Amino acid sequence: MRKRIEDEFTKLQISRQRKYQLRMQRDKRCTECGEPAVQGSRCLKHLVKARERQRRKRGLKRRYYGTLSYKLQGVTA
Ligand SMILES: [Zn+2]
């Protein structure tokens, strides 16, 4: 029988998804797709997605072009 993968999260009473997110964070990977994270816990693609979601939620009109995710996207004002 194959040995199960065990790490510091295995025994925690949290959902599988949460464990996945914690492992991704520990390994500096995007918590949504597992790609290498560029900032915090997200890859560029999901960083942009999260940013756009925030914008809609807050109803922001202007864009902050100094923000890292814009720089990485190659967007200039
Ligand atoms: Zn991602």
pLDDT in tens, the chain (77 residues): 677 778 999 999 999 999 999 999 999 999 999 999 988 889 999 999 998 898 888 877 777 777 777 777 776 65
Give residues with Cβ within 8 angstroms of 3, minimum separation 6: none
- Give me ligand 1 centre to Cα 26, in Å: 15
- Give me ligand 1 centre to Cα 37, in Å: 7
- Give me ligand 1 centre to Cα 9, in Å: 21
Question: What's the burial of 49, exposed, middle or buried (CB within 10 Å: 0-12/13-18/19+)?
Answer: middle
Residue 37, pLDDT score: 93
- Give me ligand 1 centre to Cα 5, in Å: 23
Residue 59, pLDDT score: 79
